[in-house]
Amino acid sequence: MPLLGSFSLVLALALSVYCFAAGMVALFRHGPSYERLGETARRAGIAVWACITIAAAVLVAASFQNDFSIAYILHHSNRDLSAPYK
């Protein structure tokens, strides 16, 4: 499961770079092809949100499963914490 979270974050990084670059090109150029490029940049932004949401869900699930293979869980959680504090 940690691999899913890591892959999701790497994909979000790549999509955000594309979103920024395509958005800048579409902003300063005009024409029908650039309008489509702006639309793909917008959709890439939505995909970034989805990827970050998946990564956050993986982190929360790992916290509740006491998966100490993730460094954040290892350093900021323990088995004695109750559910609201995890």
Tens of pLDDT, residue by residue over 15-63, are: 999 999 999 999 999 888 899 999 999 999 999 999 999 999 999 999 9
- Which pLDDT score is estimated for 48? 98
- What whole-number distance in Å separates Cα of residue 24 and Cα of residue 71? 36
Extract the tokens encoding 21: 């670059």
Does the pLDDT of residue 86 top 80, yes or no?
Answer: no
- Which pLDDT score is estimated for 26? 95
Does the pLDDT of residue 82 top 90, yes or no?
Answer: no
> Cβ distance 68 to 74 under 8 Å?
yes
- What whole-number distance in Å separates Cα of residue 3 and Cα of residue 40? 27
Q: What mean pLDDT do residues 63-74 have? A: 91
- What whole-number distance in Å separates Cα of residue 18 and Cα of residue 56? 22
Confidence of residue 83 (pLDDT cuts 50, 70, 90): confident
- Which pLDDT score is estimated for 52? 98
